[in-house]
Amino acid sequence: MMNSILLCLLCLVIGYLIGSILFAELITRWVKNVNIRELGNANPGAYNVFRNVSKFWGVAAGLLDAMKALGSMLIASHYFQLPDIALGCLAIGAVLGHGLPIYYHFKGGRAASVLMGMYIFFIPLEFLIALAITVVVVLGFIRKEYGVWGPTGIIALCLILCLFFPHPLEVRMFVWIGGFIVLLFNLDKVKEKTKSITPTPAE
């Protein structure tokens, strides 16, 4: 029991340190020699790079962010045969690290891409279904603020869909814990965009 707890704590710390690497910051400084926090919405995330540096580097930043969770989980699973609970701690650590990075005075991004990396590992089918539905809805009906509604839609659908597929309890637990953490990181932005699309009552 004690060994399991120590393993989970170790994975949480390692994941956190990996997650604290902000690729949006590194890429923007390398490509444009500027601070990503001085561009666009000042968020050190992939979508800000996509909009204000280049589409290519934005996609690259998003993939690298996802790999902070997905890559770590693949390595830990393949080479160390760690159980799901340890892999989940590794991914949650990466999510926390991205949102509250120790290398950047705990001022990080919104961690949606990192969370999706975990979802691809734990619930790949649900992720693909959620991705397809969100693309249709966001591109076909909302048609704006893709950087907010896209990730929000994918995460929300994954949370619901995972309840209808056979998964171990710990997998569902980490799916929901990760979703809740990322929701907290994005709550201000979601509230802001929700107000912007809510019709104003007639006087």
Looking at residue 61, its amino acid is: A
Phi, psi of 91 (to 5 degrees): -70, -45
CB 17 within 8 A of CB 32: no
Mean pLDDT of 92-105: 97
Cα 151 to its chain centre, rounded Å, is: 8
Q: How many CB atoms lie within 10 A of CB 189?
A: 17
Express as a percent the part of the chain with pLDDT over 70: 90
Residue 118: pLDDT over 60: yes
- Angle between the N-to-C axes of helices 55-80 and 84-99, in degrees from 0 to 180, rounded to the nearest 10: 150
> What is the predicted pLDDT for the residue at 149?
79
Higher pLDDT, 80 or 203: 80
Q: What confidence tier does 144 reach under pLDDT thresholds 50, 70, 90?
A: low
The model's pTM is: 0.91
> What is the predicted pLDDT for the residue at 191?
66
Kindly list the domain boundaries of the chain, sorted by start residue: 11-192
Mean pLDDT of 179-201: 72
pLDDT in tens, 158-175: 999 999 999 999 999 999
CB 116 within 8 A of CB 67: no
Mean pLDDT of 70-75: 98
Mean pLDDT of 75-86: 96
Q: What confidence tier does 202 reach under pLDDT thresholds 50, 70, 90?
A: very low
CB 52 within 8 A of CB 130: no
Q: Per residue, what are the HEC states of 1-45?
A: CHHHHHHHHHHHHHHHHHHCCCHHHHHHHHHHCCCHHHCCCCCCC
Spatial distance between the Cα atoms of 75 and 84, rounded to a whole number of angstroms: 13
pLDDT in tens, 5-36: 999 999 999 999 999 999 999 999 999 999 99
Residue 146: pLDDT over 90: no
pLDDT in tens, 119-141: 999 999 999 999 999 999 887 77
Higher pLDDT, 144 or 74: 74
Spatial distance between the Cα atoms of 21 and 184, rounded to a whole number of angstroms: 20
